Amino acid sequence: MEANEILAKAESLRNDLSTGFRDEIVKSLYTEAENIAKRAVKGATDKKYDFDQKVDRLVTSPYAGLPIMLGLLGIIIWLTVSGANVASNAIAFVLFGIGDWGRALFNQIGMPWWITGFIWDGVYLGLAWVISVMLPPMMIFFPAFTFLEDLGYLPRVAFNLDWMFKKTGAHGKQSLTMAMGFGCNAAGVIATRVIDSPRERLIAILTNNFVPCNGRFPTLIMLATVFVAASFPPALTSFVAAGTVVGVVLIGVAFTFLASWVLSKTVLKGEASAFTLELPPYRRPNVSRILYTSIIDRTIFVLWRAMQTAAPAGAIIWILANIHLGDTNLARAIADWLNPFGLLLGLDGVILLAYIIAIPANEIVVPTMMMVYMGAGMMVNGPSSNSAIFDLLVNGNGWTMLTAVNLMLFALLHNPCATTIMTIYKETKSLKWATLSVVMTLGTAFVVTFFTASIARLLGWV
């Protein structure tokens, strides 16, 4: 018996069947399920169920739904910002202290200067920076996020935002994939598998990067704390910083909608498809599982990945900074060469150099930038406080508020990290879409920062 014969037979049999036979099958499935369930289940719903419904009516109401969502986002980010600040300073103090001690020890036993420099001012410094900048925010953000996830809040977010996605021609479940993107954009891209329609799935994949992941949060938090919030009274700084980060996240969401809309009007034309979304019952989150998932699976996983790129990045910067060219060094020379373009975007050459080195993992942008600014070799103490960072950037390297704002925008909009690009390629099996994801985001970042820089200059703000 040949396969073709069977296919032909099935074809002819199907044509003989009455047109509604599919509906018949589905209907009999449902009837059967209903009858069996009726026989097996006894009892009625009680108060718990009513309570769930009451909560749902509130958190998914057209009026209270969005404010509650923003409130929760604000609380999580405020907890992260205010907690991370203290912890980051403490960790930096200890780690940079160890660095000083190690350097002194190496000097004492007569190590050649380049070994001391390579290890302590290159590799070790890169690691110390990444740990002190990244670990505290993640230790707070991930458990808080996982708590909401285990509680069952995420599907409610999807419910609240569905109408907006529909208007932009995208799928309502895209908000679930965006929520995953907060943790890691690569995870967000994988999560798009829940979207049935290939068109809408591609939109979700291509726009996921507009949600700042945990690798980029520390950059936003640092800039919001050191620059935006610095001019406010100390009692308000954490609120102002958190508000700024929430604002940046909202700008990212706005760009997600904009990009989704543009995509569904151009290369990915089509209407949003309908879908059913189950609102699962609220479940009491299991504390030990939350801690395990958020600390081991997420925090340590992301931190380990960052450390793997931070160590070689630290080494590269140290080498670049110690290859002397006349009275400058290679790192400076590259940064100077990039500088005109950087200034055009309201950034500078060092920032662009840091972004190029940080393509494998966005987490190391700030550490890389700091190391180039400080100039390896001559540095004794890492700036372990906010005022020291402010001093280094503003007085030492000519930063303005525009630089800080544009760096936040750039961090939000620029190309996905190498891991995410690889994931996009694997999920779409297409070089075209992987390339578009880079071109689209990087293009947006260039255009937006150029735009804000030009306006600021025209108005004479900088």
Partner 1 sequence: MTNTKTILPTEHCETCPAFTQLEQMGIKVGDFDRVIALAGNPNTGKSTLFNALTGLKQHTGNWPGKTVTRAEGGFEFNKMRYKLVDLPGTYSLLSASQDEEVARDFILFGQPNCTIVVTDATSLERNLNLVLQVMEITEHVVVAINLMDEAKRKGLEVDARSLSRDLGIPAIAITARTGEGIHTLLGAVADVIEGKIITKPLRVGGTPEFQKAVSELVPMIEQMAPGIPNARWLAIRLLDGDARVQKALSTGELGDIVSRQQRQDVQFSGKMSVEGRQ
Binding site for partner 1 (CB under 8 A): 1-7, 9-10, 13-14, 16-18, 21-22, 24-25, 28-30, 32-46, 48-49, 146, 149-152, 154-155, 173, 176, 180, 187, 190-191, 193-196, 277-278, 280-283, 285-286, 289, 292-293, 296-297, 301
HSE (CB half, 13 Å, CA atoms) of 54? 6
Phi–psi pair at 396, nearest 5 degrees: -85, -35
For the CB of residue 205, give the shortest distance to partner 1 in the complex, in Å. 12
How would you class 303 by CB atoms within 10 Å of its CB: exposed for 0-12, middle for 13-18, buried for 19 or more?
Answer: buried
Q: Which is nearer to partner 1, 27 or 324 (CB)?
A: 27
DSSP state of 111: -
47-to-51, 53, 61, 280 alpha-carbon distances in Å: 6, 10, 21, 16
- CA Rg, the chain, in Å? 26
Q: Which is nearer to partner 1, 187 or 315 (CB)?
A: 187
Q: Which is nearer to partner 1, 35 or 435 (CB)?
A: 35
For the CB of residue 169, give the shortest distance to partner 1 in the complex, in Å. 18
Q: Which is nearer to partner 1, 45 or 108 (CB)?
A: 45
d(CA 324, CA 409): 33
Q: Which is nearer to partner 1, 32 or 391 (CB)?
A: 32
Amino acid residing at 358:
A
For the CB of residue 213, give the shortest distance to partner 1 in the complex, in Å. 14
Q: Which is nearer to partner 1, 38 or 459 (CB)?
A: 38
d(CA 312, CA 126): 8
Q: Which is nearer to partner 1, 1 or 109 (CB)?
A: 1
For the CB of residue 29, give the shortest distance to partner 1 in the complex, in Å. 5
Burial 157-192 (b: 16+ CB within 10 A, else e): bbbbbbebbeebbbbbbbbbbbbbbbbbbbbbbbbb
How would you class 397 by CB atoms within 10 Å of its CB: exposed for 0-12, middle for 13-18, buried for 19 or more?
Answer: middle
Q: Which is nearer to partner 1, 6 or 86 (CB)?
A: 6
Helix, strand or coil for residue 140?
helix
For the CB of residue 36, give the shortest distance to partner 1 in the complex, in Å. 5
For the CB of residue 362, give the shortest distance to partner 1 in the complex, in Å. 19
For the CB of residue 305, give the shortest distance to partner 1 in the complex, in Å. 11
Of 164, 158, 162, 166, the closest CA to residue 273 belongs to 166
198-to-120, 179, 180, 182, 390 alpha-carbon distances in Å: 49, 20, 19, 23, 47
For the CB of residue 13, give the shortest distance to partner 1 in the complex, in Å. 4
Residue 265: CB partners within 8 Å, gap ≥ 6? 169
